[in-house]
């Protein structure tokens, strides 16, 4: 039997944290992890934020980011324990035997140097290739990774290529010195959905063609299922489950893994339009002040009481602008907004108080949506006081009712946002919106900043509340899995226009237009071999390449 | 709320308080009258005159205590003026935006394109030099810095989603400024206040030293240096006492400001 | 036209505009405030007639706008007007003094700039360890004492007690460079200490900012030695912020010079300006004020231009 390329035993990693105003304190973030990686194989490290997956990845290069220190255990690479090696030997390992691809290529490239110099630097420094050969290899890799104009792209500066292209360049950088192992740290997370799949496919091909081994770190189990041979599930610095990809995806043993696998599987039967629409956008056209082009062109959508309209699109599609127009933050150039049978004035400041009350908003970043100097009680209590004049005992009682509705219970009124978890913060924001007894809530990417399991909880809560309060949601998102889970009707937006619009089943049933096809096919599915199927059947190239 | 104050902040608080108390109760603490000639020129320190006497035979400890009173009073008044003007205009510029912001910001750019000492000298060349003039000139010139800081802080907060949420709720401008923006802007502003105060102490001392600040016989720390500087070449250190006074006061205020900044950001609900 | 050239020209135009606005402001301040130059010369007891005569002679009977443009026109041609206290041509008096001031500032810069960058690097290298703490403690001390007091403390200990240098920095044209340097040693040390603190702190911050970038981590993960990480990746990006720091501090030096010259009775612009302010010699104050403003604005402009020219995004547009 061959020796493993990477053998990790009892790995413990600690960090020093500096809480403001307190003494620095040492904490342990990885509590003893074991795994093996054979040459040419791909191991997926998966977990939610705080699981310690990036830290473990960097430990295979004997590197600790910031105040992070490896406190115990062994890391064997090519038969030697690198934690016992001298700094000089570690420098030979880094960039030679093991290389790294970060989440943000845009930050990881030196802005002052040409791409080619940076891609070939390690290969030349480590004595693997001459400058000429390294450049030839880089061009070869650029071609393999599907970069346009592979001969000349190396002469550009990092800011002169797109995000998706730079991420491919970073992969070329990692592969150029012919390493034995590449650590991929969330390499596609920061990209737009349709670009993500292409980069993922390019990485997968490159791994296969070069025969390199890889650690693939991500929070998205569906993504890692496409590229890895084995998967290790991590939670709070502990290993939860470790096995072959097929076993983890199709026969998970641990409850936590099962939850991760079944995430986004909420069933929500479509409701058909009934009664008068609560919101009607008629021929909305809008542009930002001081610009010369429209970001919304002739948008027409309707939303019925107690139902959910999902507005789907990538960044730049105009979906968030639509929310700003409806709320009155951006008066449209043309078109009408009919809300509950009456026409809304274009500008926020001239709307009567009841219009404001009945139309509430929940934001993507719950962190910035709540005043950090106000308690949860004040945050939820203010709309009660402002719209209904509730005071004292009555207000307290209503706040507690709302807290019960969002499943937070007692003892939260006096807490500050900083003392809440990400999911709890978003729940408080939901309570604040509900406090106004709205007819419509605009949800702007409300789950995209959350870990998958937490996001699932929020979606379930929103569906539950919709039944109780009979409130309509205008749900803005880039994530089609979320749309499937929550929508009754869907509007697909592309470059400021509604590309496809109708009931959920109708919109998600073929035949598709090219863009909808691209978007739908870009959502990773928890299924082995999905990536190959999708790429074989695509009609349109993604824009971000 | 005053539990576990770090040692450095404790020292800072102690000396800051000491100086302010000495300033307020100067007439009761000083052993002699402010302008009273009580001995020979530049007497060395003795039981009667702890710090010795100055260039015309006044008790130096008395001069230092009264000098501290003048310096601290002028610096405090100028800091308050600078803060009130700078932060009110800064917040208004941030919240109103548009032409009001443009006019104020360009004006401040212009004022800051010239070092404030030079600008102060130009103004003092034509104005009568009185305590009121000094406070006005120093306070207004310095308010440009407070304006920039408070505007920047308020602009950052003004684009936060919670401010937008308040606007969407239909809140009035008063609520938005006082309940949403101000509480979050407070800690950087308070820390800046300490720095501005120190700067004012240095500024008034410099002006007095140049003969353009507090006019004799009124004592202030910069003036004491000016009065006694000729003694230095004879090895008489009377002019150096203000150095110790100014340095300890400045360092103490710095330590307090640092602590306030740290403490308020680590408060429950502190940002970040 | 290359976009960066356009941007540079725009900034220079803006700098010139600012210079004009600043000169107008300086002139306007001396106009708008109560009291006038004639009154200042003749004192409170002057008769109306004498005042009117002097006003006419000084051109004070003309409207302010006219006088501003006359004054500005004079400056552009090198005519700074006449002092009202000693009736001497200001340009002649200034030329020698400006040279002296620049001489002093130049030597202060020669010592302080390399020292500040070196100490800044040292503080970064030993971040949060004792060299960093000692440096930042010393910094806090020097920024807590006004320039003139640092001056006197040094005079007291180094000149008077130790007798190494003269307490006053008197220089004349007949002195050799060595003699001159010995004469200005103390003021140079004071100025160095004054700007060193700020410059070092800002350098430290600028380098730390670069060192915390993700591309530095990339370089470390390529196996580069610390020296090469700094030389090949940190330095090219740190140079612009450091030059900015240096320029801003040289501008700060201009202010420090005024006070330090008074302490050491050094025959420079600062001394001249302070004397003129005490004597209420408005034309001299105006001339000195405009020159100081000009130097200050120019140095800030250079800082601006360097950071534009060093920005790869602007140098290599899409």
Which of residues C273 and C317 earns the better pLDDT score? C273
User: Could you report the per-residue pLDDT of C96-124, keeping only the tens digit for each?
Assistant: 888 888 888 899 999 999 998 888 888 88
Residue B3: pLDDT above 90? no
Q: Which CATH number covers residue A26?
A: 3.40.50.300
Distance from CA of A368 to the nearest CA of B (A): 5
Per-residue pLDDT band for B270 (boundaries 50, 70, 90) equals very low
Q: Are residues A170 and A311 in the same domain?
A: no
Q: At what angle do helices C282-309 and C235-263 cross, to 10 degrees?
A: 170
Q: Quote the Cα angle for A10-A14-A15, to 5°.
A: 165
In the prediction, which pLDDT does B56 show?
A: 76
- CB of B162 within 8 Å of a chain A CB? The answer is yes
Residues A419, C164: Cα–Cα separation, whole Å: 62
Q: DSSP letter at B45?
A: P
Q: Name which of B213, A51, A523, B230 is nearest C160 in CA terms.
A: B230
Q: Which residues of B fall within a CB distance of 8 Å from C281?
A: 125
User: Could you report the per-residue pLDDT of B81-124, keeping only the tens digit for each?
Assistant: 999 999 999 998 988 888 889 999 999 989 988 888 888 988 88
Whether residues B270 and A370 touch (CB distance < 8 A) is answered with no
In the prediction, which pLDDT does A21 show?
A: 55
- CB of B251 within 8 Å of a chain C CB? The answer is yes
Q: Are residues A78 and A122 in the same domain?
A: yes
User: Could you report the per-residue pLDDT of B210-225, keeping only the tens digit for each?
Assistant: 888 888 778 888 888 8
Percent of chain C with pLDDT over 90: 7
Q: DSSP letter at A458?
A: H
Residues A376, C77: Cα–Cα separation, whole Å: 68
Does some domain include residue A61? yes
The answer to whether A359 and A324 are in contact (CB under 8 A) is no
Enumerate residues 80 to 119 of chain B having a beta carbon within 8 A of any beta carbon in chain A: none
The answer to whether C285 and C232 are in contact (CB under 8 A) is no
Q: Which residues of B fall within a CB distance of 8 Å from A382?
A: 169
Q: Are residues A298 and A252 in the same domain?
A: no
Give this prediction's pTM: 0.82
In the prediction, which pLDDT does A230 show?
A: 93
Q: Name which of C267, C287, C285, C268 is nearest C276 in CA terms.
A: C285
The answer to whether B115 and C255 are in contact (CB under 8 A) is yes
Q: Which residues contact A369 (CB under 8 A, 6 or more apart)?
A: A362, A363, A429, B161, B162, B165
Which residue's structure tokens are 């394109």?
B113
Supply the range of the domain harboring residue A323. 279-374+438-509
Q: Are residues A177 and A316 in the same domain?
A: no
Q: Is the four-CA dihedral A421, A425, A428, A434 of positive or negative sign?
A: negative
Q: Which residues of A fall within a CB distance of 8 Å from B161?
A: 363, 365, 368-369
In the prediction, which pLDDT does A463 show?
A: 92
Task: Tokens for A366, please give them.
Answer: 């719950």
Helix (H) or strand (E) holding C240: helix C235-263
Per-residue pLDDT band for C43 (boundaries 50, 70, 90) equals low
Per-residue pLDDT band for B272 (boundaries 50, 70, 90) equals very low
User: Could you report the per-residue pLDDT of C138-197, keeping only the tens digit for each?
Assistant: 877 777 788 888 888 888 887 777 777 777 777 777 777 777 777 788 889 888 888 888
Q: Is the four-CA dihedral A528, A532, A536, A540 of positive or negative sign?
A: positive
Closest A-chain CA to C239: A112
In the prediction, which pLDDT does A97 show?
A: 92
Domain definitions of chain C by residue range = 90-278
Percent of chain C with pLDDT over 70: 93
Please tell me the total number of residues recorded for chain B in this structure.
272
The answer to whether B99 and B156 are in contact (CB under 8 A) is no
How far, in Å, are B132, B226, C27, C147, C265 from residue C167 at the CA level? 35, 15, 36, 15, 9
Q: Where are the beta strands (DSSP E) in chain C?
A: none
In the prediction, which pLDDT does A512 show?
A: 85
Residues A384, A431: Cα–Cα separation, whole Å: 11
What single string gives the DSSP state of each residue in A250-267? HS--SHHHHHHHTTT---
Q: Which residues of B fall within a CB distance of 8 Å from C161?
A: 235
Q: Which residues of A fall within a CB distance of 8 Å from C229?
A: none
In the prediction, which pLDDT does A449 show?
A: 83
- CB of C128 within 8 Å of a chain A CB? The answer is no
Residues A187, A452: Cα–Cα separation, whole Å: 18
Q: Are residues A230 and A367 in the same domain?
A: no
On the 0-12 / 13-18 / 19+ scale of CB atoms within 10 A, A117 is: middle
In the prediction, which pLDDT does B140 show?
A: 93
Q: Which residues of A479-492 are buried (b: 16+ CB within 10 A; e: fewer)?
A: bbbbbbbbbbbbbb
Q: Which parts of chain A register pLDDT below 50?
A: 544-545
Name which of A99, A109, A157 is nearest C215 (Cβ-Cβ): A109
Q: Are residues A246 and A304 in the same domain?
A: no
Phi, psi of C71 (to 5 degrees): -65, -45
Residue B266: pLDDT above 70? no
Whether residues B270 and A418 touch (CB distance < 8 A) is answered with yes
Task: Tokens for C243, please give them.
Answer: 């030059």
Per-residue pLDDT band for B1 (boundaries 50, 70, 90) equals very low
Best of A290, A345, A373 to mutate (most B CBs within 10 Å, chain B): A373
Which residue's structure tokens are 């400021």?
A496
Residues A382, A45: Cα–Cα separation, whole Å: 44
The answer to whether A195 and A110 are in contact (CB under 8 A) is no
The answer to whether A440 and A339 are in contact (CB under 8 A) is yes
Instruction: Name A308's bridge partners.
Output: A473
Residue C218: pLDDT above 90? yes
CATH of domain C90-278: 1.10.3720.10
Name which of C140, C160, C254 is nearest B233 (Cβ-Cβ): C160
The answer to whether B213 and B134 are in contact (CB under 8 A) is yes
* CATH number 1.10.3720.10 is the correct assignment for the domain at B7-267: yes
Q: Are residues A254 and A285 in the same domain?
A: no
Please tell me the total number of residues recorded for chain C in this structure.
318
In the prediction, which pLDDT does A493 show?
A: 93
Best of B11, B117, B119, B125 to mutate (most C CBs within 10 Å, chain C): B125
Helix (H) or strand (E) holding B254: helix B241-266
In the prediction, which pLDDT does A202 show?
A: 87
Whether residues B125 and C296 touch (CB distance < 8 A) is answered with no
3-state SS assignment for residue B172: coil
- CB of A371 within 8 Å of a chain B CB? The answer is yes
Q: Quote the Cα angle for A273-A279-A281, to 5°.
A: 110
CA A173 to chain centre: 24
Domain count for chain A, please give it.
2
Name which of B122, B211, B246 is nearest C149 (Cβ-Cβ): B246
Task: Tokens for C166, please give them.
Answer: 């003269």
Phi, psi of C238 (to 5 degrees): -90, -20
Question: A180 — alpha (psi -120 to 50), left (phi > 0) or beta?
Answer: alpha
Q: Name which of B210, B187, B201, B197 is nearest B258 in CA terms.
A: B187
In the prediction, which pLDDT does C263 show?
A: 86
User: Could you report the per-residue pLDDT of B178-233, keeping only the tens digit for each?
Assistant: 899 988 888 788 878 888 898 899 899 999 888 888 887 788 888 888 888 887 77
Q: Are residues A321 and A209 in the same domain?
A: no
Which residue's structure tokens are 């797109």?
A162
In the prediction, which pLDDT does B267 show?
A: 40
Domain definitions of chain B by residue range = 7-267
Task: Tokens for B64, please give them.
Answer: 């230092």
Q: Are residues A40 and A187 in the same domain?
A: yes
Task: Tokens for A222, please give them.
Answer: 């569906």
Name which of B165, B180, B271 is nearest A361 (Cβ-Cβ): B165
What single string gives the DSSP state of each residue in A439-452? SEEEEESTTTTS-H
């Amino acid at each position: 039997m061959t020796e493993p390329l990477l053998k990790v035993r009892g790995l413990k990693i600690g960090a020093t944290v500096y809480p403001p105003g307190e003494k620095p304190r040492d904490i342990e973030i990885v509590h003893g992890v074991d795994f093996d990686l054979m040459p040419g194989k791909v191991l997926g490290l998966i977990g939610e934020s705080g699981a310690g997956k990036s830290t473990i990845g960097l430990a295979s290069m004997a590197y600790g980011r910031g105040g992070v220190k490896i406190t115990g255990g062994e890391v064997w690479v090519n038969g030697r324990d690198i934690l016992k090696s001298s700094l000089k030997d570690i420098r030979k390992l880094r960039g030679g035997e093991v290389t790294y691809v970060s989440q943000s290529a845009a930050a990881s490239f030196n802005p002052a140097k040409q791409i080619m110099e940076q891609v070939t630097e390690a290969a030349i420094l480590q004595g693997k290739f001459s400058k000429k050969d390294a450049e030839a290899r880089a061009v070869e890799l650029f071609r393999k990774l599907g970069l346009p104009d592979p001969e000349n792209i190396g002469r550009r500066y990092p800011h002169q290529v797109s995000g998706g292209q730079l991420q491919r360049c970073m992969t070329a950088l990692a592969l150029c010195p012919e390493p034995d192992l590449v650590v991929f740290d969330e390499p596609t997370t920061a990209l737009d959905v349709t670009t993500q799949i292409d980069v993922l496919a390019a990485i997968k091909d490159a791994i296969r063609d070069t025969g390199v081994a890889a650690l693939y770190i991500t929070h998205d189990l569906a993504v890692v299922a496409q590229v890895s041979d084995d998967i290790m599930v991590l939670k709070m610095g502990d290993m939860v489950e470790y096995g072959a990809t097929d076993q983890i995806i199709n026969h998970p043993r641990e409850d936590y893994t099962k939850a991760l696998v079944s995430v986004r599987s909420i069933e929500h039967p479509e409701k058909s339009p009934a009664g008068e629409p609560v919101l009607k956008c008629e021929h909305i056209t809008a542009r930002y002040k001081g610009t010369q082009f429209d970001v919304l062109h002739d948008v027409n959508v309707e939303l019925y009481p107690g139902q959910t309209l999902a507005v789907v699109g990538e960044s730049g599609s105009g979906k968030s602008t639509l929310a700003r127009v409806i709320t009155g933050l951006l008066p449209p150039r043309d078109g009408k907004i009919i809300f509950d049978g009456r026409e809304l004035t274009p500008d926020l400041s001239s709307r009567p108080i009841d219009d404001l009350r009945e139309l509430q908003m929940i934001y993507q970043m719950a962190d910035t949506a709540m005043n950090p100097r106000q308690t949860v009680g004040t945050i939820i209590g203010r709309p009660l006081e402002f719209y209904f004049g509730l005071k004292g005992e009555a207000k307290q009682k209503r706040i507690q009712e709302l807290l019960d509705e969002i499943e937070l219970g007692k003892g939260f009124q006096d807490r500050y946002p900083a003392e809440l978890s990400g999911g709890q913060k978003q729940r408080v924001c939901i309570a604040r919106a509900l406090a106004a007894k709205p007819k419509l809530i605009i949800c702007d990417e409300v789950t995209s900043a959350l870990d998958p399991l937490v996001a699932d909880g929020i979606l379930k809560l929103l569906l539950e509340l919709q039944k109780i309060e009979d409130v309509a949601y205008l749900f803005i998102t880039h994530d089609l899995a979320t749309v499937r889970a929550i929508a009754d009707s869907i509007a697909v937006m592309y470059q400021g226009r509604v590309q496809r619009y109708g009931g959920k089943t109708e919109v998600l049933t073929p035949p598709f237009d090219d863009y909808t096809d691209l978007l739908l096919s870009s959502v990773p599915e928890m299924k082995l071999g999905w990536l190959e199927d999708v790429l074989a059947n695509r009609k349109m190239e993604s824009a971000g390449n | 709320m005053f539990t576990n104050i770090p040692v450095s902040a404790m020292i800072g608080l102690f000396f800051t308080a000491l100086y302010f108390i000495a300033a307020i109760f100067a007439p009761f603490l000083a052993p002699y009258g402010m302008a009273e000639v009580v001995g020979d020129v530049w007497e060395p320190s003795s039981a009667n005159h702890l710090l010795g006497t100055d260039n015309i035979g006044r008790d130096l400890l008395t001069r230092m205590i009264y000098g501290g009173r003048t310096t601290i009073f002028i610096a405090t008044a100028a800091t308050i003026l600078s803060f009130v003007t700078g932060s009110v205009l800064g917040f208004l510029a941030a919240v109103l935006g548009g032409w009001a912001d443009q006019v104020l910001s360009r004006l401040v750019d212009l004022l800051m394109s010239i070092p404030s000492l030079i600008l102060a000298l130009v103004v003092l060349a034509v104005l009568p030099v009185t305590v009121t003039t000094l406070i006005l000139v120093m306070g207004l010139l310095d308010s440009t810095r407070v304006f920039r800081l408070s505007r920047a802080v308020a602009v950052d907060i003004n684009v936060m989603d919670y401010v937008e949420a308040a606007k969407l709720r239909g809140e009035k401008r008063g609520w938005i400024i006082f309940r949403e923006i101000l509480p979050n802007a407070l800690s950087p502003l308070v820390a800046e206040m300490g720095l501005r105060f120190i700067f004012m102490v240095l500024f008034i001392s410099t002006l007095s030293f140049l003969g353009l600040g507090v006019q004799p016989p009124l004592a202030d720390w910069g003036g004491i240096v000016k009065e006694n500087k000729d003694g230095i070449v004879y090895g008489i250190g009377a002019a150096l006492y203000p150095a110790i006074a100014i340095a300890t006061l400045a360092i103490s205020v710095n330590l307090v400001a640092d602590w306030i900044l740290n403490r308020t950001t680590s408060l429950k609900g502190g940002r970040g | 036209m290359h976009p960066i050239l356009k941007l540079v020209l725009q900034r220079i135009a803006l700098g010139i505009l600012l210079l004009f606005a600043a000169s107008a402001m300086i002139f306007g301040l001396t106009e708008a405030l109560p009291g006038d130059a004639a009154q200042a010369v003749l004192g409170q007891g002057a008769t109306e007639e004498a005042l009117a005569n002097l006003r006419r002679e000084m051109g004070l009977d003309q409207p302010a706008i006219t006088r501003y443009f006359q004054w500005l026109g004079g400056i552009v041609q090198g005519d700074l007007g006449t002092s009202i206290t000693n009736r001497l041509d200001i340009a002649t008096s200034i030329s020698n003094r400006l040279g002296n001031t620049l001489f002093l500032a130049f030597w202060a810069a020669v010592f302080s700039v390399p020292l500040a960058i070196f100490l800044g690097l040292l503080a970064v290298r030993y971040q949060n360890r004792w060299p960093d703490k000692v440096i930042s403690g010393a910094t806090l001390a020097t920024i807590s004492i006004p320039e003139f007091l640092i001056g006197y403390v040094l005079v007291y200990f180094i000149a008077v007690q130790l007798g190494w240098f003269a307490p006053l920095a008197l220089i004349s044209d007949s002195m050799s460079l060595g003699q001159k340097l010995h004469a200005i040693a103390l003021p140079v040390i004071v100025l160095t200490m004054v700007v060193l603190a700020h410059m070092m702190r800002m350098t430290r911050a600028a380098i730390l900012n670069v060192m915390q970038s993700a591309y530095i981590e990339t370089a470390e993960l390529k196996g580069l030695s610390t020296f090469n990480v700094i030389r090949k990746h940190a330095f090219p990006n740190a140079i612009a912020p450091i030059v900015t720091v240096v320029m801003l501090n040289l501008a700060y030096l201009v202010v420090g010079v005024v006070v330090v010259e008074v302490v050491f009775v050094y025959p420079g612009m600062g001394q001249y300006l302070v004397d003129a302010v005490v004597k209420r010699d408005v034309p001299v104050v105006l001339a000195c004020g405009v020159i100081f403003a000009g130097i200050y604005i120019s140095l800030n402009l250079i800082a601006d231009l360097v950071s534009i020219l060093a920005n790869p995004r602007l140098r290599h547009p899409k």
